[in-house]
Amino acid sequence: MTIDGGERATRRARGVGKAAVLGAGSWGTALALHLARSGDPVVLWARSQEAARALRETGENTVYLGGHRFPRSLEVTGQLSAALRDARLVLFVVPAQHLRPVFRAAASNLPPSADLVIASKGIEEKSLLRLSEVLAREAGEEAGRRATVLSGPSFAAEVARGDPTAVVVAGEDARAAERVQERLSRDNLRVYCNRDRVGVELAGAFKNVVAIATGIAEGIGFGSNTRAALITRGMVEMARLGTRMGGHPETFAGLAGAGDLILTCTGALSRNRSVGLEVGRGRKLQAVLSGMRMVAEGVATTRAVVALAETHGVEMPIAGQVSAVLFGGTSPRDAVASLLARPLKEEA
């Protein structure tokens, strides 16, 4: 997309400023590319100076998202304070289990007027907190209140190449969510607003657990019937826990729930489905994880979700069996047999 002088003047007039994308993995890079291609000044932060130098020298992210050259408006740095300086929009795109120290380090440098967006998906395993709650603990309650979360069916590679994609941004502050919606809704990315931040966060985390389950079933050799059953009943478990924790039922039928669940359970680019696929074929979990460059968030999230289910007294048989396979030594076939042997009941 070419931005002419009139469009640049219009954007300056409406106050579009620098965006800081914290995290140079595939999703962070895709979001940085999306914003920079529209002509916005964007700084992409990598967690080490060496990684930042490599990105600058190659002009693309050859490790996580090769083939997409960086526009001139996209800068790369390994200095967090430099990335955050004068930012109007800050996107946190670091794996969920590594976000707390980034929140802590960023806290003193966050511009008070910047819109904060958490684009990572997961539940912190040790604390069982949602990521917006972790941000509030590390950067203060005010930052936690104004933060929004970005979720929905969105493979990084497809966003980077410009495939039509719909996502959702959720926040307690409706005006902040609307600002983020307007800032990100460009070209082929369409952003919807949602006020149910709790539900959107929980849906974005739990869909990865179900994706591991569908991958395990596929690895065993089961077909579409099994996958459809797991997706559908997985959405029931997602809504069961999500509503108990304060989410709205309709959220789990939307982009962050059903949309992302379908994508992650069926798409060839799904890391969590790929983990399940290898485990279902008989490989050990640690062997699978050690061979991956990217993080499969669903592994740690499985432990967290099972713990949350116990805390809130919610029945989640699929999540329980995924946990039993990944961490308890249960064979994939025995896990499926356990699910089929459960007492019969009505669907609703």
CA distance 104 to 120: 16
Rounded to a whole number of angstroms, the CA Rg of the chain reads 20
Largest CA distance in the chain: 66
CA distance 296 to 312: 25
User: For strand 42-45 and strand 74-77, is the pairing parallel, antiparallel, or unpaired?
Assistant: parallel
Cβ contact 36:42 at 8 Å? yes
Q: What is the 3-state secondary structure (H, E, C) of 28-57?
A: HHHHHHHHHCCCCCEEEECCCHHHHHHHHH
User: Tokens 């994939």 appear where?
Assistant: 332
In 274-337 the beta strands, taken as DSSP E runs, fall at none
Q: Which of 121, 207, 284, 345 is catalytic?
A: 207
Judge whether 345 counts as a catalytic residue.
Answer: no
CA distance 301 to 251: 19
The catalytic residues are 207
